Amino acid sequence: MYKKKINKIVLGTNNEGKVREIRKLLPKRLNIDTPKRRNISSPKETGSTFLENSLIKAKYFSNKTGEISLADDSGLEINVLNKKPGIYSARWAGKNSNFNIAIKKVYRELKKKKINFNKQIKCRFVCALTIYWPNKKFYQSQGKIEGTISSKPMGKKGFGYDPIFIPKGYKVTFGQMLFSKKSKIDHRFKAFKKIKKFF
Ligand code: ITT
């Protein structure tokens, strides 16, 4: 099964930011479809880990379409918040996926813990990817990037929590970084490197 390169795929995500970034990681020759184009909404994420939730999504979209699906479950883990928002990263933004709300919540929760921004607030982005074939076989990978939370949101590039995440070794947030740079160091790229062989 794995010997044959994948030519066609349904991305198992309804997040436009992810669609944009995953598209750029995949080869140009690949035929890429999206649930949005087919009017399929996302399943409930009932898992307790990134890997479980990415499997739920990949399996769901493959079953719905009869195609091979690639799904991403990702999020931001903040050490002093006991790894929250973690798998709840999207849910912190509410029904309308408003990341101003999610980012405000991060600062509110840090304030509750009386966090001093002179100290580094350690965190990481995690990305779990699952490729699910219609014959029910699947393959998973995970990638992480360590970093810190910036004292205020900076930059308008990227999506989600990018304006508050400063990757380790850098002085700017993902929100200030060109995608051509982010996409060579981030959690999604690291997870994708491990499944690249299928494409
Ligand atoms: P799908 O389930 O349809 O893929 P979602 O937004 O609900 O979309 P997740 O459950 O995986 O996806 O939530 C992950 C959230 O974590 C996502 O909404 C982003 O806000 C955030 N996130 C993940 N990767 C990110 C990145 O590279 N930059 C900024 N935020 C990111």
**In the chain, where the domains are located:** 8-198
Fold of 8-198: Maf protein (3.90.950)
Give the strand pairing for 84-85 and 138-149: unpaired
How many angstroms separate the first and last alpha carbons of the chain? 12
- How many A from CA of 17 to the centre of ligand 1? 8
Model confidence pLDDT, tens digit, residues 10-39: 999 999 999 999 999 999 999 999 999 999
Helix ranges (DSSP H) in 80-153: 99-112
Q: Give pLDDT tens digits for 85-129.
A: 999 999 999 999 899 999 999 999 999 999 888 889 999 999 999
Asked if residues 72 and 22 have their Cβ atoms less than 8 Å apart, the reply is: yes
73 noted as active-site residue? yes
| Residue of 193, 173, 172, 194 lying closest to 184 (CA atoms) | 193
Atom of ligand 1 at shortest range from CA of 35: 3
Cα(53)–Cα(45) distance, integer angstroms: 6
pLDDT of residue 117: 82
Residues 52-72: what's their mean pLDDT? 98
Q: Pick from 10, 11, 14, 15 the residue to mutate for probing ligand 1's pocket: most ligand atoms within 8 Å of its CB.
A: 15
Nearest CA to ligand 1 atom 7: 90
- Confidence band for 3, pLDDT divided at 50, 70 and 90: low
